[in-house]
Structure formats: structure tokens, C-alpha cells
Amino acid sequence: MTNLLRKPFGTHGKVHEITPQSAGWRYVGFSLYHLRAGEKVAEATGDNEVILVMIEGKAAINGAGQEWGVLGERMNVFEKTPPHCLYLPNGTEWEARAETDCTVAVCSAPGKGGHAARRIGPDGITLTERGKDTNTRYINNIAMENEDYCDSLLVTEVFTPAGHWSSYPSHRHDEDDYPRITYLEETYYHRLNPANGFGIQRVYTDDSLLDETMAVADGDVVLVPRGHHPCGAPYGFEMYYLNVMAGPLRKWRFVPAPEVAWILERDK
């Protein structure tokens, strides 16, 4: 049994802390804070660049020597409105003071000092439909490769309707062989609506040396070190996830699982 499913270790303050060291890989870090109104949190980025994502609620944020004002608008992530985010390069510091109860995600990867601090969203982020039939889901791209905001990070939000599949057809990005495929580590921060529901995520390789199927609860994080990684939202439960990816090249190129490659061909 691998340790790909990470449960929150609390309900208040920092509830997730995934580092390259704890994940057993090289690039992606992910932390999550649940703050009550009036509480503060502060961190240094160190050698990493960081994107702060306001999952829910509002916070006044200072970072990289600037005051960015109050970030955040949606009070429930399933409002599906564009997120308020902040990019911070390596070698800087940030502080967030909760204006309301809020949930703040900290997405990190190695920084090279190639980009300045900047707000990301809500302007410029549009909820976009992807897929067909029960493979339909809705995407808020925060910092994918078309957005030249970052040195390493790729970050996006996905909303999967109840009864649908996502990150599907199954695909992998676990080899450094651009342009055919890129090596990208990935985390999935899951939310469910209603919150007492569950979703399914499978992480598997073509040779089945890695093959884990997990029931994910509201607030869980799944690590994807390699292999294919589809998600399913059972009828009655809507699924959200925040993806963080990073690797040696900031490009997203993948190879489909052999058993589902025909679906990609059909849907072109």
C-alpha cells in the first residue's frame, strides 16, 4: 500500500503540509490553511515560488514587500466563480490576515526568480467546459502554460458534476521526453458537495506496479507521482479539485492509457 491519500491533520490552522521530502519527489509542495476571521499566517517562500489560492473566504495579504489588499470573493468554492490568487517569487515573504473565515491554499515549486509578484484572477479567468457527455467538467485555469506567470508551477481548478468522470480519459505525464510527454508531479486537493459524500480516484501505471484506487473525502489530498489518475464523482456528489503540477519543464504533455486512447481519437 502506497501513501498517496493524505487526510487533513486538523480542522483549524494548517491542515495539510506536503513537501517534496514528505511526498518522496522533487518539485511540488502543497499546504492548506483554515483560518478564522482575524487570524494571521505568515511564511517565507525560500527557494520556492508560490501561488496563494483563496479557495473560500477573504483575506488581506501582504507579500513581496507590497500590500495586495483583500483577496477573495466566493464564500463557498462551489459557487464556481473565478478565484483570487497571488503569485510570489522565491526569496520573498507573505502574510495573510483573515477578514472572514477562509481557506487558503499554498501551491509551491522551485523558483528561479524569473517572474515578479502579481495578482492572478479573478479577471482573466473564465470557467471553461471540457469533455463530452459524462466526461464533461468545468475548468478555471489559474496558471497553465499559456499564462506566463511562473517559473515552474502549473495550477488549475476543476469542477466535476455529479455522475461524471474527470482527469479522463486516463492519462499520464511521468516521463521527461518533450514534446511527446513531460514529467510533472501532481497533487489533487478534493472538495465534495454535499461535504459528507465521497469521490473516487485511481492512480495506476501501465504495468500495474502502481495501482491504487482511493475513496476521497471532502478535504483530502491525493498525490500523483506517476501513472494515470482519473477521478469519478458518484451520482449525488459534485466534485471540486485544485491541481498543482511541476517538473523540470513547465509544459503539460501527456500520453493516454492504452485502453482509453480511442476516446481521445473519437472526441477530436
Show me where the domains of the chain are located: 5-267
pTM for the whole structure: 0.97
> What pLDDT, on a 0 to 100 scale, did the predictor assign at position 265?
80
Cell numbers at 107, concatenated: 501551491
pLDDT in tens, 54-80: 999 999 999 999 999 999 999 999 999
Q: Residue 239 has what pLDDT?
A: 98
Q: Which CATH number fits domain 5-267: 2.60.120.10, 3.40.605.10, 3.30.70.980, 3.30.565.10?
A: 2.60.120.10
Is pLDDT at 134 greater than 90 in this prediction?
yes
* CA 12 to chain CA centroid, nearest Å: 20
C-alpha grid cell, residue 97: 490576515
* 3-state DSSP assignment of residue 129: strand
Q: Is 70 exceeded by the pLDDT of residue 99?
A: yes
Adjacency order of strands within the sheet including 118-120: 13-18, 29-35, 102-110, 48-56, 85-88, 118-120
> What's the pLDDT score for residue 1?
39
Q: Give tens-digit pLDDT for 168-187.
A: 999 999 999 999 999 999 99
Residue 228 DSSP code: B
What's the pLDDT score for residue 114?
87
Burial class (CB in 10 A: 0-12, 13-18, 19+), 156: middle
